[in-house]
Amino acid sequence: METQLNQLKDEALAKIEAASNTKELNEVRVAYLGKKGPITDLLKGMGKLPAEERPKMGALVNVIRETVTTQLEERMAHLEEQAINEQLAKEAIDVTLPGRPVRTGNHHPLTRVVEEIEDFFISMGYEIAEGPEVEKDYYNFEALNLPKGHPARDMQDSFYISEEILLRTHTSPVQARTMEAKDGAAIKIICPGKVYRRDSDDATHSHQFTQIEGLVVGENIRMSDLKGTLSLFAKKMFGADREIRLRPSFFPFTEPSVEMDISCFKCGGDGCNVCKKTGWIEILGAGMVHPNVLEMAGYDSSAVTGFAFGMGPERIAMLKYGVEDIRHFYTNDVRFISQFHRTEA
Amino acid sequence: MLVSTKWLGDYVNIKNIAVEELAEKITRAGIEVDAIIDRSHGMTNVVVGYVKECVKHPEADKLSICQVDVGEETTQIICGAPNVAEGQKVIVARPGAVLPGNFKIKKAKLRGEESNGMICSLQELAIEGKLVPKAYAEGIYVLPDSAIPGEDALPLLGLDDQVLEFDLTPNRSDALSMLGVAYEVGAILSQGIVLPEVSYTESAERAEDVLKLRVDAIEDNPMYVAKVVKNVKVAESPLWLQNYLMAAGVRPHNNVVDITNFVLMEYGQPLHAFDYDRLETEEIVVRRAEEGEKITTLDEAERTLKGHNLVITNGQEPVAVAGVMGGLNSEVHDGTTTVVIESAYFAPASVRQTSKELGLRSDASTRFEKGVDPERVAQAAERAAQLMAELAGGEVLAGSVVIDELDKTPARITVSPDTINNRLGMKISLEDMLSILDRLQIPTEAVSGKLVIDAPTRRQDLRIEEDIIEEIARLYGYDEIPMTLPVGESTPGGLTPYQAKRRTVRAFLEGAGLYQALTYSLTSKEHAQQYALETAPVTELLMPMSEERSVLRQSLIPHLLEAATYNVARRIESVALYETGSVFLGLEEDGLPKEVEHVAAVLTGKWVDHAWQGESKKVDFFVMKGIVEGMMDSIGQLDGLSFEQAVVEGMHPGRTAKILLNGEEIGLIGQIHPTEQKKRDLKETYIMEINLQKVLQTEVDEVLYTQVPRFPSMSRDIALVVASETSAGTLQAIIRNAGGKLLKDVRLFDLYEGANVEEGKKSLAFSLTYFDPERTLTDEEVVKAHDKVLKALTDEAGAVLRG
C-alpha cells in the first residue's frame, strides 16, 4: 500500500511538472485530487486496512495529498504567471512608432512679441489702449507737434485717403486720443497696433507693419523714470543681465529725445554680427513728452510731465529670433509661423 | 554728412584722440556716427611718378610704354589710360602695393613688354567715379607739377584721412557744416575752436556800382548778399581743395565752383556763383516765377515752374531756381572773368516745396529747407570772396550789394536749474550747467537763480527750456541719469474684458489647431468686398502704390485664401489659419471709416492625418462648425448661437450657412464654391468669418457653479426615419420642446441615407438623457416624458420610428 501510495505521488508530481498550461494542470488536479481520483479512492479504502495501520497510512495519505496540492498550487502559480507573460509579450508594441499628433496652432510671432511686451507693462500697472488704423491728420501729426508743412508728413510717405484722413503712420495718435480723452488725468498706457507707410516691400521695409508704444503722464514724471522703466523692460524682454544705454536723438513729439540700445544679447557686449561688432543693439526710441503735445491735449505742461517710448515688434522679432527678411511676417507660410510654438522661459 | 577728420582738424584739435573714440563720443553726445571710412583703405607703396617718356606699345593700340621716374629709379610701366602723356606727374602703384579690393600689384609682362607697377586713376584708389573731376573720369589722374617723384601719394591726395559719416537727425542741421561740427566736437572735448580768418584786399571799384539788386518776394527771401569778383582765372583748384571736396562727397569742377561748394560745406551756407557777363543786365531780381515759366538748370534739364516758386532773374529771365539749383545760362565756365557770388536766406518752406515739386534735391536745398544760420549769410559771402582772391586771382570789388530784412535776434530762453534737475531726475550743480553751456558756446547768464540764455543763431533747434534740458543732459551724459520708477498713484492696469476675451478667442483657435496669420489691410478693388459680411462704400487711397494695395478690405477671407494658396503651392497641403483684424466700412460722420474687428479662418486639406494607423480625414463643414461652436463657447456665447442655410456668392450653395447670435446675423461659414477654389488652385476649402467686435461686446453671464449631479440620469435612444429635407436642427428643436424639464440632453449619434432607407428619406438616431437634480427618476416618469417626445416627432415632423 505504501509503495502504491508513493508511486501514485511520483506519478502525480510528474504529471504536474509535465502540465504545460493551466487547463492541463486543472485536469491533473481533477484526476488526482478530485472526488473520483485515486487519492480519494485510497482514503475511501482506508476502512479495509487493519486498525493499527490506519493512523500511519492516514497520515501518509494526507502528506501525499498535501505535497501534491502544494506542488500543484506552485505549478499553477507558475503557469499563470507564464500565461500572463506570454500575453504581455504578445501585446508588446514598438514604442518608437510615432505618437498620435495633437493638433495645435500658435501665435503669429509678432503677436507673441506684442503680448510679451503687453504683459510686462500690465504687470507694471499699464493699460492697453487701442485706436483706429485710419486716422485724422490731426491726431496722426498735428497733435504730435508735426504741424502742417512739417517735412516728416510728406504725402509721398503716407497713405492718404483725403487731405485730412490717412492710414496712421505710427501708433502715436492713440496716445494723442488717450490724452485728450483723459481730460487732464494721469495716464499709463501701452498702444500696440498696425501702422502703414508708403514704402515698397523689401527685406527691411513693409508698407504695413506693427508698433507698440508706451505713454506715462502725471505729476513729476522724470527722465530717470523713463530710464528705470526701460531698463526693467530690457531685462524682462532680453535677459536679466542686459544693460541699457540712452543716446540723444530727435522726435518731434518728445524733448529730450533718446534712442535706447541694449547690450547685445548674443555676445553680451563683446561684439558680434548681431550687434555689428558694437556690443550694442538699438531697440527703441523714447523721450519726455514735448510740452506742445501736452498742451494740445489739454494738459498744463508746467504742472504735468510725461515720457513716451515706441518700438517695432518686427525689429524685435527679427533680432530675437534671427529672422532676416521682414516679408516673412506677412507671407503666412505655415513653415515659418509654426516655428514659434514653444515657450522659451 | 561726411566729415573729414583731416579737414575738421583745421578748426579743432583732435590730434590727441583716436578716431574710434572720437566717433563714440560724438555718438553718445547726440550725433550718430554711422561709419568711419578709412580713405587710405590700407594702401601702401603708392607714390608720385614722373612720366619721362611715353610711346605707343608696338603690339597694342591702347597701351603705352612709359618710362617713369619713381624717385629711387626710373622704371618701365605699361599704361592703358588714354590720357597718359610725357611730362605728367602721376600716381604710381609700385610692385608690392595693395590697392583697395585686395588688388595686388606685381611685376608683369604685357604683350611682351615688362611693366613694373601701375599708373592709377582715382577710381583705383577707391574714390567714387561720380566724385572724380570730369577731366580725369575716363583715365589716370594727373597731379600738379609741384609733386615730387617718389613722394608718398596718399597724403598728397588727402587719402591719409578718416571720414566720419554722420546720420543726422532733422533738428541738428547745425552739423551740416564743418564749423557746426567743430562747435559740437569742441564742446564734447572741452576745447575752443579756431574760426577761419577772413581778410582780403578790396579793389577801389564798388560792387554797388556794377550790380543792381531787387527782391520782390521779401517774405521768402529776407536776405540777399551779392559780391562781385573781377578778373578771376578759372582753373583747376589746388589739390587740397579738391581733396577736401572729394572727402565730403562733392565733385571738384573748377576753382570758382569749388570755392562756393567749399564754403557751403564749411559754413553750411549755400552759395551760388553767376557769370556776371552772362547775366547781361547788370541786375539781379528775385521774384516769383510766372506760371509755366521755364528754366534749364545746371544738370541740363528743362524745368517748368509754378507761380509760387522763387527764382533769381537777371530782371528778364530766370538764371537760378532760388535755393535749389543754378541755371545753365549763367553758369561759370572756363572763360568767365567776373563772378557774382550769391549768399542768401531763402525761407525753408518755400525751398522745400520747390525742391519737392521739381524732384530736385541738392546740397543747397537740404540746408535751406532746414533753415540756415542768419549770421553766416554775409560771413560766407566774405569767405568765398577771400578764397576767390587767393585761389583764383580775383579782385574783389568793395562792399556787397545787400538786401537785409532778416531777423537775427537770438532766441531768449529762461530756465531754472531746479526745472532741469526735476525733469531729469538728477542733481546737477549750477556750476556744471554753466560749464556745459560754456563749452557749447551758448551765451548764458545766471540771473536770480535762473539761467538766461541767448541761443546762438547757428543752433536753430534751441527754442524752449526742454531744448536746454537736452543740451545739458546730453553733455553731462545720459549714463549719469539714475534709474527710478514713476511714483504717485498706483494703477491696477490690465486688459479690458474685450481685450481679455480676444486673447481667449485666439488661444482657443490655436488650441484647436489653427495658426495665426497676419495679412495686409490694403487690397485690390476686386477683393475688397468679396465674402464681406457687410458691405459699405470702400475706402480708397489717394495715391496707391499698386492696384493690389489700393483700397481697405471689408473681409478677411480673400487674403486668408491667398495665404492658403501660397502654402498649398509649396506642398503644404493641409492649411489651418485664422486671423483677427479690422475691416473698414464706408465713412462715418467724422470722415473716418467704421473699423470693425473680425475673426476669420480657413481650412483646407486634411484635418486628421495619422498615416501609420490608417487614420486620415479631410476637413469638412462640421470641422469648421465645431471650431466656431467651441470658440463661441469659450467666451460664453454658445447658447445664442445658431446656423441658417444660406446662399452666398462665391460659396458652395449647399454647404454654406449664416451664423447667428441671439437671432442676429454675425458671420458666415461654409465651403468655397468649387469654381472659386479652382481659380485659387485650392481643393475643398472651408472658411468662416465672424464680426468679433459684436460678439465680444455681447454681454456674457458670469461663471456660476451648478451642483454636480447626485442622482443618476437615464438614457433612451430613438431611431427615426424622416423626409431627407427635414433638418437635424428641426428634429432636435422638436425633441427639446417636447421633452420638458426632465430632458437634460439630446445628442445625434447616427445619420444614414441609402440602402434600406426609402428613397427621399433618411434615418437619424438620437440619444436622449433624462435627469432630475432632486431625485432618482422612476421608469414611469421617463416613459411618460419620452412618449411625449415620440408623439411630437410623429405629429410635427412625420417621423416614423424604426424598430
- ipTM (interface predicted TM): 0.88
Average pLDDT over residues A148-155: 72
Quote the pLDDT of residue B414: 96
The CATH number of whichever domain residue B15 belongs to comes to: 3.30.56.10
Of B376, B404, B432, at which residue does a domain stop?
Answer: B404
Quote the pLDDT of residue A54: 81
Average pLDDT over residues A328-338: 97
Let me know: does B342 contact B312? Beta carbons within 8 Å. Answer: yes
Distance between start and end Cα atoms, chain A: 84
Say yes or no: B367 and B247 in one domain: yes
Name the β-bridge partners of A258: A248, A286
- CA B177, B179, B184, B189 torsion: positive or negative? positive
Q: Is residue B193 part of a domain?
A: no
Enumerate the residues of chain A whose CB falls inside 8 A of the CB of residue B584. Answer: 133-134
- Number of residues that make up chain A: 345
* Chain A touched by B520 (CB under 8 Å): yes
Measure in Å the smallest separation between the Cα of B260 and chain A Cα atoms: 27
Of B643, B664, B697, at which residue does a domain stop?
Answer: B697
Q: Is residue B107 part of a domain?
A: yes
Q: Is residue B485 part of a domain?
A: no
Enumerate the residues of chain A whose CB falls inside 8 A of the CB of residue B356. Answer: 154
**Under DSSP, is residue A267 helix (H, G, I), strand (E, B) or coil?**
coil
pLDDT tens-place string over residues A211-269:
999 999 999 999 999 999 999 999 999 999 999 999 999 999 999 999 999 999 888 88
Alpha carbon distance A333, A342 (integer Å): 17
Let me know: does A266 contact A258? Beta carbons within 8 Å. Answer: no
CB contact under 8 A, B518 and A110: yes
Cell of B176: 551740416
* Chain A touched by B359 (CB under 8 Å): no
Quote the pLDDT of residue B563: 98
Enumerate the residues of chain A whose CB falls inside 8 A of the CB of residue B484. Answer: 222, 224-225, 227-228
| B 555-594 → A contacts, CB under 8 A | 563, 566-567, 570, 572, 575-578, 581-582, 584, 590-593
Cell of B712: 443618476
Q: How confident is the model at residue A160 (pLDDT cuts 50, 70, 90)?
A: very high
- Closest residue of B to A136, CA-based? B592
Say yes or no: B209 and B329 in one domain: yes
Cell of B632: 463661441
| Mode of pairing for the β-strands spanning B162-167 and B2-4 | antiparallel
Quote the pLDDT of residue A211: 97
Give CA separation, B263 vs B66, B230, B241, B382, in Å.
40, 19, 11, 10
The CATH number of whichever domain residue B306 belongs to comes to: 3.50.40.10
Of B671, B697, B723, at which residue does a domain stop?
Answer: B697
Enumerate the residues of chain A whose CB falls inside 8 A of the CB of residue B522. Answer: 159, 167, 196, 207-208
Segments of chain B with pLDDT less than 70: 803
Measure in Å the smallest separation between the Cα of B155 and chain A Cα atoms: 29
Let me know: does B277 contact B405? Beta carbons within 8 Å. Answer: no
Say yes or no: B721 and B763 in one domain: yes
Residues 6+ apart with CB under 8 A from B98: B42, B43, B44, B45, B104, B105
Query: Cβ–Cβ contacts within 10 Å for residue B709, how many?
Result: 11
DSSP B384-444: HHHHHHHHH--EEEES-EEEE----PPEEEEE-HHHHHHHHT----HHHHHHHHHHTT--E
Say yes or no: B388 and B457 in one domain: no
Q: Residue B684: give the domain boundaries.
A: 497-697
Measure in Å the smallest separation between the Cα of A207 and chain B Cα atoms: 9
Closest CA to B468 of B485, B479, B480, B456: B456
Let me know: does B167 contact B34? Beta carbons within 8 Å. Answer: yes
The one-letter amino acid code at A64 reads: I
Say yes or no: B251 and B330 in one domain: yes
pLDDT tens-place string over residues B13-30:
999 999 999 999 999 999
Say yes or no: B510 and B472 in one domain: no
Q: How confident is the model at residue A345 (pLDDT cuts 50, 70, 90)?
A: low
Cell of B8: 575738421
The alpha carbon of residue A287 and the mean position of all alpha carbons in its chain are separated, in whole angstroms, by 34
Backbone torsions φ then ψ of A240, nearest 5 degrees: -65, -25
Report the residue from B514, B518, B593 with minimal CB separation from A105: B514
| Mode of pairing for the β-strands spanning B395-398 and B202-206 | parallel
* Chain A touched by B463 (CB under 8 Å): no
Q: Is residue B703 part of a domain?
A: no
Using the structure block, give the residue that is written with the C-alpha cell 498615416.
Answer: B611
Give CA separation, B156 vs A83, A220, B259, B605, in Å.
100, 58, 19, 72
Query: Cβ–Cβ contacts within 10 Å for residue B73, how many?
Result: 10
Name the burial class of residue A18, with classes exposed (0-12), middle (13-18) and buried (19+) by CB atoms within 10 angstroms of its CB. Answer: exposed
Measure in Å the smallest separation between the Cα of B542 and chain A Cα atoms: 5
Enumerate the residues of chain B whose CB falls inside 8 A of the CB of residue A164. Answer: 591
CB contact under 8 A, A329 and B518: yes
| A 100-139 → B contacts, CB under 8 A | 100-101, 103-108, 110-111, 115, 118, 121-128, 130, 132-136
* Chain A touched by B150 (CB under 8 Å): no
| Mode of pairing for the β-strands spanning A187-196 and A127-128 | parallel
Quote the pLDDT of residue B610: 86
CB contact under 8 A, A134 and B584: yes
**Under DSSP, is residue A245 helix (H, G, I), strand (E, B) or coil?**
strand
**Count of helix runs (H) and strand runs (E) in chain B:** 22, 44
Say yes or no: B259 and B302 in one domain: yes
Quote the pLDDT of residue B443: 96
Q: Is residue B383 part of a domain?
A: yes
Say yes or no: B141 and B271 in one domain: no
Adjacency order of strands within the sheet including B685-690: B515-516, B575-585, B594-604, B685-690, B664-672, B651-661, B641-645
Say yes or no: B210 and B292 in one domain: yes
pLDDT tens-place string over residues B186-240:
999 999 999 999 999 999 999 999 999 999 999 999 999 999 999 999 999 999 9
Quote the pLDDT of residue B774: 87
* Rg of chain B, C-alpha, whole Å: 42
Measure in Å the smallest separation between the Cα of B584 and chain A Cα atoms: 9
Q: What is the mean pLDDT of chain A?
A: 91
The one-letter amino acid code at B17 reads: I
Q: Is residue B622 part of a domain?
A: yes
| A 72-101 → B contacts, CB under 8 A | 97-98, 100-101
Q: Is residue B705 part of a domain?
A: no
Count interface pairs A-B at CB distance under 8 A.
246
Say yes or no: B262 and B375 in one domain: yes
Maximum C-alpha span of chain A: 136
Report the residue from A127, A136, A156 with minimal CB separation from B493: A127
Say yes or no: B270 and B214 in one domain: yes
Q: Is residue B196 part of a domain?
A: no
The one-letter amino acid code at B369 reads: E
* Chain A touched by B678 (CB under 8 Å): no
CB contact under 8 A, A151 and B352: yes
Enumerate the residues of chain A whose CB falls inside 8 A of the CB of residue B494. Answer: 122, 127
- Considering its fold, how many domains does chain B have in total? 6
CB contact under 8 A, A159 and B543: yes
Quote the pLDDT of residue B618: 95
Alpha carbon distance B604, B672 (integer Å): 10
The CATH number of whichever domain residue B735 belongs to comes to: 3.30.70.380
CB contact under 8 A, B592 and A134: yes
Query: Cβ–Cβ contacts within 10 Å for residue A124, how many?
Result: 20
Say yes or no: B439 and B572 in one domain: no
Quote the pLDDT of residue A152: 67
Backbone torsions φ then ψ of B273, nearest 5 degrees: -115, 120
Alpha carbon distance A296, A299 (integer Å): 7
Alpha carbon distance A50, A45 (integer Å): 11
CB contact under 8 A, A335 and B521: no
